[in-house]
Amino acid sequence: MLAPAKTPRAIVNQLHREVTRIFRLPDVQQRMTAIAADVTLIAPEEVDRMVAGEVKLTADLARQAGIRAE
């Protein structure tokens, strides 16, 4: 789950806590298992690092390919 850029960290943290709480409920876990869903909960800071890494990788690939924004 992602939130819009510049969402206040307090809101992001609250969303993370609530989503984590909900996904840990036994009935939710049973439903996820029933549909073979593999849910991985990661901290907001890790999502920040992952997104930053993907942005850098994409920018580097675009630069190497000579792709420029118009």
Q: Is a pLDDT exceeding 90 seen at residue 1? A: no
CB of 5 within 8 A of CB of 13?
A: no
Q: Summarize pLDDT for 6-62 with one digit per residue, the tens.
A: 999 999 999 999 999 999 999 999 999 999 999 999 999 999 999 999 999 999 999
CB of 19 within 8 A of CB of 1?
A: yes
The CA distance from 60 to 23, in Å, is 36
Q: What is the pLDDT of residue 25?
A: 97
pTM score: 0.73
CB of 20 within 8 A of CB of 41?
A: yes
Q: What is the pLDDT of residue 70?
A: 83
Q: What is the pLDDT of residue 57?
A: 97
Among residues 31, 40, 38, the alpha carbon closest in space to that of 1 is found at: 40
